[in-house]
Structure 1
Amino acid sequence: MPLALAALTLAAFGIGTTEFVVMGLLPTVAHDLDVSIPDAGYLVSAYALGVVIGAPLLTLAARRLPAKTTLLSLMALFTIGNVTTTLAPNEPVMLVTRFVAGLPHGAFFGVGAVVAAGMVSADRTAKAVSMMFLGLALANIAGVPLGTYLGTTLGWRSAFVVVAAIGVLSVIAIAVMIPPQPKAAPSSVRDELAAFRRGDVWLALGTVTVGFASIFTVYSYVAPLLTETGGFTATSVSYLLVLLGVGMTVGNVIGGRAADRALVPSLYTALAALAVVLALFALAAPLKITAAIGLFAAGVAGFSLGPIMQTYVMSKAPDSASLVSASVQSAFNIANSLGAYLGGLVISAGFGYTAPVWLGALLAVVGLVLAVTVTAATRRGQGPGALPIPQPQLNNQQ
């Protein structure tokens, strides 16, 4: 089991690195491809679009394959996407390759979470899932800084060569370390989609979107917050981002263990803690020492939500766990875009760089309200965890 989880962690490390490293390489990519930095920013959106579209579609396409075969196929597609990115001659081609690289992202985490959970007893499910997501946190500590350094010194293509190499290693690790998985039971697309006829599943995904949007309103503008409000130099920001990554790693471990002990109370606690931490971070931002402490605490509180929410949504539809789990990644990337958009609005309105942090705290409270609503709705529903969405009545009259 430890080796199997390590293989999933390695793959998550590669996925996290390719998702976030391009943000630090935008000026270099823009210069090399002779486009503006805003135009190069569409590369981030192309990847996110691939995640949102690929998560449900690839999960449905692979529903009858053994989980190990699915994981190998998804990482092979991921590797192809990054190899072709290194060869992209211009921005239009690179937009396509980034989209392709993002396609397997959500499906991999969806299927991987189910595989990880299936290798342990029920009381250790969230901890196993958190071990896979540990790769994302480690990517922010090591993968992204290393990729950014290589990209700025040896050219941006070198960063994606490294990511592609991680993809190859992940394919080998999955093939060797993950035991054979039973072939999935035959199911129709209609059966898989049945979970999305339930209101509590949509409310749970809404909680994910709002909860993570609260984080991304802050993360998207953390660099100008630290320099303009906190008084840090631009050089110091890279070290502070490593501190943020350490906080994410700690939060990921804490969230996994807490969810195994008490899933719903852990979700409530994590969202409430995130609201409080972000509010304190907004107050602490003008002072360097307190700003650094607040940044670390925001990483802990924010990433503790990862394994909690992944396990929480999976628990709402155990019969469609892979598809619902993959949909969490779609919601995560929608939250990424939504958080960046909302944070930009309050900055553009002239409220300053602490405004996104206050907005993030407010969104965390909204997420908490949604989580409580999901629980109440589930208790009122028809059967355990079921809250049907009213279906339109068909008119049988000719």
Structure 2
Amino acid sequence: MTQPHSDRLLIPTLSVCNFVIGVGAFGIIGLVEPLGADMNLTPVQTGQLLTVYAVAYAILSPLLVAYTGQVGRRRILAAGVAMFVAAAALSIVAPGIMALNGTRVLAAAGAGLFTPIAATVAAMLSPEDQRAKALAAVFFGLTMSQVVGVPASSWIAYTFGWRWAFGLVVAVGLPCLWLIWTRVPAGLRFEPVTLRDLRDVLGEGRLMLAVAFTATFIGTQYILFTYIAPLLSATMGFGRDGIAFMLMIAGVGAVAGNVIGGYMSDRFGWRVTLTIVCLIQASVLPVFSLLPLPPVALMVLVFIWSLGSWSFMAAQQTRLITLAGHRAPVVLALNAAAIYLGAAVGSSLGGVLINTLGLVSLGIGAGFGAVLALVHLTLSARLEPLARPTS
């Protein structure tokens, strides 16, 4: 049942925390070159930090969410943020790539607890006709991390060194612990999910096919996104400022996509929205294999690509929450896991393309991925299981 709440700062608090997690998770994109130069690593080796994070998130998030289903939500949210901030602090003093990989696992565990639980809290404490809006608001923080946090992290890494970029995460993350403890209601619990719920969801093939679309779509994006900095450096001659600026343009596109995707989903439904998004990606991603382009044309290309990439989230989450019923926390955890599993597979495929065909092959490879995502969407939509009650 929905439990109304009166604290208007609850949703903004969850969104701010997601902003911190977005900076810590995706900021590695802007650290590929400075971190690699400092540790004498190739872009592919540095990019594997994202892969490690993604795989750890995919494995740990659904298990931790199910295992802690009977613990108060405020405690779990605070624990997730604390783990994430601790991982960033340890990254500052990490002596090498192996230690950094360890801190990425800890960060993934913290984020894997926080993000799906935050989405559940927002949905369950909001009237049913406002849940999509509440979810979009909570995930707005992740979107804004693309606009402000990732470019800022990149600029700091190029200017002062990559360790200072992790220091940024610590600085903005610590106040979030206080916000959670003062804004999330004490003793907050919903109908608990268990490891049995996780097992049951994993056994529903058609539901899992719907969840897996997230991995397919996100994987397509990360074939290119993981290596966008070295691609722009090699083809456009961009350095610190040029790369940070293009990441900012991508962030603006992400904000626009988050808003437009939510509107389109409400107006036309999730299936039409997701189909259009896949078609956009299949059209624009191959153009990245034509670089160099005039800077203005590249700005437009990056904006449209990012807009399409981030337009899918609201539609896909609305789809899954409708299907999941009371098991929404588990399904949202699996969906979040699918995001990072897709990121891991996509970044790995991008590395293979670079090693075999070179950086300019990334756009064409990602374009093929977008076509595959459209096929996956069509198949999973046709096999959609019946929706379960949401209360």
Same fold (TM over 0.5): yes
Structure 1 Cα separation of the partners of residues 130 and 258 of structure 2: 14
Counterpart code for 1:276? S
Match of 1:84 among 71, 85, 90: 90
Match of 2:24 among 4, 18, 25: 18
- Asked if 1 retains the 8 angstrom alpha-carbon contact of 2:48 and 2:347, the reply is no
CA shift at 1:242, angstroms?
0.8
Match of 1:321 among 314, 319, 328: 328
Q: Which residue of 2 aligns with 1:389?
A: none
Q: Which residue of 2 aligns with 1:393?
A: none
**Equivalent residue runs for 1:153-172 within 5 Å:** 153-172=159-178
**CA displacement 1:36-67 (0-9 Å, x = unmatched):** 34655443333223312221121012111232
- Give the 3-state SS of the residue equivalent to 2:283 in structure 1: helix
CA shift at 1:277, angstroms?
3.5
Q: Which residue of 2 aligns with 1:102?
A: 108
Q: Which residue of 2 aligns with 1:135?
A: 141
Q: 1:188 to 1:135 in 2, by over 3 A?
A: closer
Structure 2 Cα separation of the partners of residues 290 and 126 of structure 1: 34
Q: Which residue of 1 aligns with 2:4?
A: none
User: Could you say what the CA RMSD is over the residues aligned between the two structures, in angstroms?
Assistant: 2.8
Structure 2 Cα separation of the partners of residues 13 and 186 of structure 1: 27
Counterpart code for 2:238? T
Stretch moving more, 307-316 or 344-353 = 344-353
Match of 2:238 among 233, 238, 243: 233
Stretch moving more, 335-344 or 273-282 = 273-282
- Asked if 1 retains the 8 angstrom alpha-carbon contact of 2:32 and 2:46, the reply is yes
**Equivalent residue runs for 1:141-152 within 5 Å:** 141-152=147-158
CA shift at 1:296, angstroms?
0.4
Return 5+ residue gaps in structure 1 as ranges.
387-398
- Asked if 1 retains the 8 angstrom alpha-carbon contact of 2:223 and 2:365, the reply is yes
CA shift at 1:25, angstroms?
3.0
Match of 1:247 among 240, 246, 253: 253
Q: Which residue of 1 aligns with 2:120?
A: 114
* TM-score where L is the length of structure 1: 0.85
**CA displacement 1:212-236 (0-9 Å, x = unmatched):** 122112223333544555x353342
Q: Which residue of 1 aligns with 2:228?
A: 222
Counterpart code for 1:326? A
CA shift at 1:246, angstroms?
0.7
Match of 1:195 among 192, 201, 216: 201
1:36 aligns with 2:41: yes
Stretch moving more, 112-121 or 81-90 = 81-90
Q: Which residue of 2 aligns with 1:301?
A: 308
1:60 aligns with 2:102: no
Q: Which residue of 2 aligns with 1:367?
A: 373
CA shift at 1:21, angstroms?
2.3
Structure 2 Cα separation of the partners of residues 291 and 101 of structure 1: 33
Structure 2 Cα separation of the partners of residues 42 and 347 of structure 1: 13
Q: Which residue of 2 aligns with 1:267?
A: 274
**CA displacement 1:350-390 (0-9 Å, x = unmatched):** 3761x432332332232222222222212xx5x5469xxxx
**CA displacement 1:314-361 (0-9 Å, x = unmatched):** 3222221111111112211121122223334444443761x4323323
- What count of residue pairs does the alignment treat as equivalent? 380
CA shift at 1:279, angstroms?
4.9
- Give the 3-state SS of the residue equivalent to 1:317 in structure 2: helix
Structure 1 Cα separation of the partners of residues 76 and 132 of structure 2: 22
Match of 2:81 among 53, 75, 98: 75
Structure 1 Cα separation of the partners of residues 358 and 368 of structure 2: 15
- Give the 3-state SS of the residue equivalent to 2:143 in structure 1: helix
